[in-house]
Structure 1
């Protein structure tokens, strides 16, 4: 992988020289093209799915549920469905077999990804078995200007020959979910074909239906040929089956002359508004499509508008700049302005692979800080995805014997718990119980996201109509799962897991869950304090209506306030916060033995179980758990929480805990590198920078050994953007003030980015000495309060404020 300048797109080009079959899956994932509604892997159009290539296409929210028999037991899973392959373009020369990479001699090959407009390009020169040398350039996009459109452009130049060619343009529903090796035993068929159709001489179309969720998907394509700007007449023949349709375009090419093929495609599903018949709608749309050039120009203009809002400029490291932009582009491919109206969450692995089955976890927690201050309507849409599923969350709480709303650890179409009950350990080949649904801290994450969205936007309408209801029902859930221990005179929470998935239960225990996970209990103490005060933030009529609708009494508000002061937090020697009660009694692991024995020990849980051991026995962590507290909250905020709880919080509490857990964490989740980089920014800047670089390169370098090709880690990508904003620039909102407390590492010379704080657009510029805030004249007309600790100013549209930074801060 290398980034190089590309004319007008400096710092926006990811490029791969030469074809590498082992790396192709990774490259396909990293060069996906999407618009928040639809996303397609960066697979070559002329290759089908095999051990090297995997041309997957996914629609946001397009799920289907299927059952697999494993060991005589039915296992039900819901998957993000791999949709019909619209990419298919194949070249036949002089009636011979269609060209594939393995059948020709590659003279030159380059695979590029233009980050500026999420466009995948391939340049190849090849010599076929007849000695003919040909140049083929492919350019492809999924439109950010029209969510239903995509396009492919081929430019074909015969170098040492003239003759007759055929181009096959097809839509292929003979696909399944087969992109994750460890899911191979699980049912992957999700589509039933409905019908192929033709509409006039140029448009072919295909309709399919998901087998259980009854989602209709239709695609239509119009393919044309051009030479020298003029349409080139081509003979057309048609082949169609129930689940496949193709048109073969035949024409002559001349040595040294370029011929262009344009394939423009339209997509519709039955989830779309204003659609009666998806097939007819797609066909009309494809027939009306402008040419490739005009469509691409509109697409590029839409991306340019997004970059004006979302680009962050860093100085001092070109590779860091490139990868931050790559991460921004991938986040926008999943969470674009189109997403706001889709009723869809943020899949942890994006929309370009099938890992985690396309489910929504807590990873969105790492994306909200970026979206809240750039695309608040998208953040609001993601929160509405949760609100629309509050009925299932309430039902889940009732069925478990609790009150309020208990949102699932893994969420899909309906908001029921989608976490698998068994998972395959690839090291041992055994199916093992999966208890991760006990990670109830996802409920605290949703509360955290709602509150911070409101802090950034002051969207009172959302808070009063939707957000407050979710927050209060989440607080009610925590109050019902907690119990009061009179011996301690404190509230406790049992039977849950923290973010560290190595610990699902106590050693030898039959039941899953742990007692008093510190991260969970502190989050509950924090949210209960806000929930108790929440009605006072609403209008009188809204507060009265909400309390009546949810039957919230004064006693319940008082209980939450009491919990905010008396949650139990296990703390052992030297001010170390125990990850959970009983952690201190676990055995220490001899890390050196395992480092010497295995190339990677990130997934120590799989290693230990494959050896017949149990990770629950040891003081080990997969990822940041207790340390998450220092990532989410400032030192000042944590001190307030701990002092309200009656616990001491020393100046070195963060440093001591980070050092302690860093020595016992395998960082088996790349989110852990983001978290540690964030908390170390103010403690050990050089170590922070090292972790940041690992997180930044974790997908492009595929540091987990083959997982990225199954889908990018969107939480990590968003987390690197959050880290730069909240920890290096030090941006946070507290008491209606936008604060900056910069901690620039030596690897960065400066930062520049735009944020929107309560409708006021602000240009932020930061270097080692100065912070400059420029409130743009457009946008909100009201003043805002912003600054650094000890120097907060009132700023109006058009104001420019410069803050001098002390050396110990920047």
Structure 2
């Protein structure tokens, strides 16, 4: 089941239909961002119907007053959340006294388009009365050339009549959040500034009782065009510039330049001056010139990352949409930032950082961007290690527990089952260090800051396990695995396995670490011996007769059935069943045992992989956006090509086709790498274990072929796959030994192999 609003196009998301019933979904799908700020695809002009107007600034957040520590010791002090920020795109328009409001007015030739080649969002429609006819065109983008800048252009073509037109360009700080604490204002005004050159508004987050520093944001605009001289407007949390004129049958335009400066980078006293300077510099170029620069900057990103699919335009649109939204959210420019689950597209989930980054984002960025981008994600976690120590201490445990949700490193999520049971995320933090080191061949991070993170996590696992005398094994009770449709289970196989692996990996690499790092850590011989004992005696539930790893101790006691037996009207389960019903069922939200098999594919036989896939996949309802890609990759490896392609389509078009009926809240940013993973690791069979790159590709039946570039250990490689041939080209760098279908091949310039 899916809901498709937009036409199929390899480079665009576009439609000629104004679907008022699905306006929020349209807004999510036309969101734009530049890693520093972004917004949903809301309209510039008034829209009085159902809409979610959201503008968000990276790293700007608020500690929610909902405090739950009084009823469970160890709870976070607050729930951290992204907050809706100043709306700077406003263009209030009236014609002959009639406000242009597409929730009320009938218009013709409506069209909206998001161009993924350069991040330009454009929209147009024709409005007419008995005496007038006008065409309105809107264009906007947030700059990846100058992160603090956004550019808008309004064009009005008067096609008939001589109407009286009013346009007001606004900066509006009267904004609220949609996700919780409805109607609560998170901003207070600090200053309004109006001069002949700019209009500016400075706001600050409200007081909080948790000693979290307040954020101050200055938003400034400069308007220019053919509308004449503007009239100043100001009121609390609002500044504007209004234009009124009687029009001829001609074209009129307004270019609106906006600069946004936050206290993350510039102290409040200097913000206005900084914003003015940015606008003055931008004013030397036209909207068209800024757009040309934007297009060239995006071209460089696409040259390094574009996946080209021949013969399936739906699949092509899906992968490009996901890459575009990921790069719009994060491109590694700021080591203080991470990849938020909704990016700049909504407020759901609250926090800025989940384990999704290490599990799903890191393996893609390693290939499609400079290795420094991924290294910044590792450094982000190292910098927040003090917060991870706090999280573990609050649970009475040693070592470091990385948070489920955070802005600072300290846990700020408010669901116990997720926050302090879903501790497997600690393993993914360590796995990202392994992944980076293995893929790049660069041990410098592992041997310095990385080993400090590994030891801290190892100490947590060593304290979190307990020894069962009855079973003569180490166990971990009271957890939630990746399958969040089961809470407070004992011996989740994946959690136990990755805990054991972290201890093993830390032991394998500790002695090679820099002496300065080891001196700081004080790991004793007794401590290492204890870790080794846990590795050797970790309990990993297994069913010998079925030949499977058991998801947790009591999973096989459930009534087991295939998800195919569920009637369509009860899916998604999380929108139709009670939580009690879900917890008692066998249905799996996302890869759990299979997540471990995916991570550690070189540690399991093909037979083990197949038996576990055949057992667990039929019970998986894929109601997590993170689910389809893992199953697609494993299906491809196991030769289940039809299933692999089916699940690729689901992950690639999860939001575009609203598979889970929840995209109106915002896009699933951190799962968008799944479509890339499904093609590159799934269809192309790319793996890198022990520093060796390998491919085992196939071409889906409905595709004519596909190609992609990857960066690997200071090389740039292009891979092309058709139904008949595999071609691998070394674009830059030294020759490299590969494995193709498990046979060694030396890549010097170009390899061609029949399929």
Give the TM-score range, shorter chain: over 0.9
CA distance in 1, matches of 2:78, 2:164: 51
The Cα of 1:675 is off from its aligned counterpart by: 2.0
Deviations 1:635-687 (A, max 9, x none): xx132xxxxxxxxx5x4322222222223222221322222222211332102
CA distance in 1, matches of 2:716, 2:136: 44
CA distance in 1, matches of 2:574, 2:147: 42
The Cα of 1:353 is off from its aligned counterpart by: 0.4
Q: Secondary structure at the match of 1:655?
A: helix
Deviations 1:182-235 (A, max 9, x none): x3x557422111111113x24101111112441111111111113xxxxx6x12
Kept in 2, the 8 Å contact 1:235–1:251? The answer is no
Aligned mate of 2:186, from 163, 183, 190: 190
Kept in 1, the 8 Å contact 2:35–2:330? The answer is yes
Kept in 2, the 8 Å contact 1:141–1:151? The answer is yes
Aligned mate of 1:482, from 448, 465, 489: 465
Structure 1: tracts of 5 or more residues without a match = 6-10, 227-231, 422-432, 505-512, 640-648, 806-810
The Cα of 1:698 is off from its aligned counterpart by: 1.6
Q: Given the two structures, how large is their TM-score scaled by the length of structure 2?
A: 0.92
The Cα of 1:42 is off from its aligned counterpart by: 1.1
Residue of structure 1 in register with 2:40 after alignment: 41
Q: Secondary structure at the match of 1:723?
A: helix
The Cα of 1:604 is off from its aligned counterpart by: 4.8
Aligned mate of 2:614, from 647, 651, 659: 659
CA distance in 2, matches of 1:274, 1:99: 39
> Aligned ranges for residues 98-177 of structure 1 at < 5 Å?
98-128=99-129, 131-177=131-177
Residue of structure 2 in register with 1:802 after alignment: 752
Distance 1:206 1:586, change over 3 A: same
Residue of structure 2 in register with 1:617 after alignment: 584
Q: Secondary structure at the match of 1:111?
A: strand
The Cα of 1:577 is off from its aligned counterpart by: 1.4
> Aligned ranges for residues 610-649 of structure 1 at < 5 Å?
613-634=580-601, 637-639=602-604
CA distance in 2, matches of 1:161, 1:244: 33
Residue of structure 2 in register with 1:584 after alignment: 556
Alignment of 1:688 with 2:644, yes or no, is yes
Residue of structure 2 in register with 1:533 after alignment: 508
The Cα of 1:734 is off from its aligned counterpart by: 1.5
Residue of structure 2 in register with 1:507 after alignment: none
The Cα of 1:592 is off from its aligned counterpart by: 7.9
Distance 1:552 1:605, change over 3 A: farther
Distance 1:748 1:491, change over 3 A: farther
> Aligned ranges for residues 225-244 of structure 1 at < 5 Å?
225-226=225-226, 234-244=228-238
CA distance in 2, matches of 1:590, 1:383: 39
Kept in 1, the 8 Å contact 2:338–2:377? The answer is yes
The Cα of 1:525 is off from its aligned counterpart by: 2.7
Distance 1:602 1:405, change over 3 A: same
Alignment of 1:278 with 2:230, yes or no, is no
Aligned mate of 2:258, from 246, 249, 265: 265
Deviations 1:253-286 (A, max 9, x none): 321x222210111111011269862222112212
Distance 1:252 1:131, change over 3 A: closer
Distance 1:803 1:486, change over 3 A: farther
Q: Secondary structure at the match of 2:434?
A: helix
Distance 1:116 1:150, change over 3 A: same
> Aligned ranges for residues 286-685 of structure 1 at < 5 Å?
286-289=279-282, 290-336=285-331, 339-364=332-357, 365-375=359-369, 376-411=371-406, 413-421=407-415, 434-504=417-487, 513-538=488-513, 542=514, 544-572=515-543, 573-588=545-560, 595-596=566-567, 599-604=569-574, 607-609=577-579, 613-634=580-601, 637-639=602-604, 651-683=606-638, 684-685=640-641
Kept in 2, the 8 Å contact 1:349–1:358? The answer is no
The Cα of 1:607 is off from its aligned counterpart by: 0.9
Q: Secondary structure at the match of 2:65?
A: strand
Distance 1:246 1:690, change over 3 A: same
The Cα of 1:769 is off from its aligned counterpart by: 3.7
Kept in 1, the 8 Å contact 2:8–2:313? The answer is no
Alignment of 1:84 with 2:86, yes or no, is yes
Kept in 2, the 8 Å contact 1:605–1:615? The answer is no
Residue of structure 1 in register with 2:64 after alignment: 66
Residue of structure 2 in register with 1:208 after alignment: 203
Distance 1:477 1:152, change over 3 A: same
CA distance in 2, matches of 1:605, 1:656: 31
Q: Given the two structures, how large is their TM-score scaled by the length of structure 1?
A: 0.86
Distance 1:75 1:275, change over 3 A: closer
Q: Secondary structure at the match of 2:589?
A: coil
Kept in 1, the 8 Å contact 2:563–2:618? The answer is no
Q: State the aligned residue count.
A: 736
CA distance in 1, matches of 2:69, 2:433: 42
Moved more, 549-558 or 308-317: 549-558
Q: Secondary structure at the match of 1:355?
A: coil
Kept in 2, the 8 Å contact 1:764–1:772? The answer is yes
Kept in 2, the 8 Å contact 1:547–1:553? The answer is no
CA distance in 2, matches of 1:222, 1:497: 51
CA distance in 1, matches of 2:270, 2:656: 41
Deviations 1:544-603 (A, max 9, x none): 22222111123333333343333211112311211111222234469688x34x613333
The Cα of 1:795 is off from its aligned counterpart by: 4.0
The Cα of 1:519 is off from its aligned counterpart by: 0.9
Deviations 1:319-356 (A, max 9, x none): 111111010000001112xx432401211122210010
Kept in 1, the 8 Å contact 2:680–2:686? The answer is yes
